[in-house]
Chain A
Amino acid sequence: NAGVTQTPKFRILKIGQSMTLQCAQDMNHNYMYWYRQDPGMGLKLIYYSVGAGITDKGEVPNGYNVSRSTTEDFPLRLELAAPSQTSVYFCASSYSSGGQPQHFGDGTRLSIL
């Protein structure tokens, strides 16, 4: 029962470096999401996708890019890492729209120094 799998679990980046956070789900869910969680701020939506080939901006998309070439995978790309992107990132998926529960991965803790 893999569910939603995120890699890596931890990463330290230098300012200006780039990296891709991986997210994969094996539940055949159409919808996938990326959130960031900052202390005292709750979960903020970065990007989401309603199906392969379709992505949309969330509340805090600046500095990030996503792609959805398959139903299973939804990678999140940081092109020029900045200290403000230090956060815990969660990927989630759901079968359909906001009326269905979301299933979350274990998170990626990212520090940018």
Chain B
Amino acid sequence: ILNVEQSPQSLHVQEGDSTNFTCSFPSSNFYALHWYRWETAKSPEALFVMTLNGDEKKKGRISATLNTKEGYSYLYIKGSQPEDSATYLCARGSQGNLIFGKGTKLSVKP
């Protein structure tokens, strides 16, 4: 994998459903993996930065895991709420900058 890839591109769930999405990235020379939440008409907001293989981070109902050896990270949302509707971006960090995936757009219906 040369680029950062996210799947699915979009996701529609009902309020209360739990969901997860995937970020795949080149596993060689790993430095850091970022997750951002991007609401429509706003700017991206950092959720997590993970650096260690096996890292798990949690913020409220949102959590993320990291596997640097196989080059993937999962983002989980437990009990989705309408306010969780946003695009979730992951990015692979290097010493200088970030390479972003195209994002997963989540829509949560009440």
Q: Is the CB of A43 within 8 A of B93?
A: no
Q: Is the CB of B32 within 8 A of A98?
A: yes
Instruction: From B31, B43, B51, B101, give the contact of A106 (CB < 8 A).
Output: B43
Whole-angstrom distance between the Cβ of A45 and the nearest chain B Cβ: 6
Q: Is B71 an interface residue (CB 8 A)?
A: no
How big is chain B's contact interface, by range?
20 to 34
Contacts between the two chains (Cβ within 8 Å), count: 63
Q: Is the CB of A97 within 8 A of B43?
A: no
Chain B residues with CB below 8 A from A61, complex form: none
Could you tell me how many residues of chain A have their Cβ less than 8 Å away from some Cβ of chain B?
Answer: 25
Q: Is the CB of B102 within 8 A of A98?
A: no
The answer to whether residues A98 and B94 also contact, given A104-B44, A104-B45 and a CB cut-off of 8 A, is yes
Most chain A CB atoms below 10 A, which of B36, B43, B103: B43
Interface residue ranges of B59-110 to A (CB < 8 Å): 89, 91-103
Q: Is the CB of A104 within 8 A of B43?
A: yes
Q: Is the CB of A99 within 8 A of B46?
A: no
Q: Is the CB of B51 within 8 A of A105?
A: no
Instruction: From A40, A41, A98, A107, give the contact of B97 (CB < 8 A).
Output: A98
The answer to whether residues A42 and B101 also contact, given A99-B31, A100-B49, A101-B34 and a CB cut-off of 8 A, is yes
Q: Is the CB of B43 within 8 A of A107?
A: yes
Q: Is the CB of B49 within 8 A of A106?
A: no
Interface residue ranges of B1-55 to A (CB < 8 Å): 31-32, 34, 36, 42-46, 49, 51
Query: Given A90-B44, A100-B49, 11 other A-B contacts at CB below 8 A?
Result: A35-B100, A42-B100, A43-B91, A48-B97, A97-B93, A98-B92, A99-B51, A101-B49, A103-B46, A105-B43, A106-B42
Q: Which 3 A-B pairs have the closest CB atoms?
A: A98-B93, A101-B46, A104-B43
Question: Please, could you name 12 A-B residue pairs with CB atoms under 8 Å apart, sorted by A?
Answer: A33-B97, A35-B100, A48-B96, A56-B96, A90-B43, A90-B44, A97-B93, A98-B31, A98-B32, A102-B98, A104-B43, A106-B43
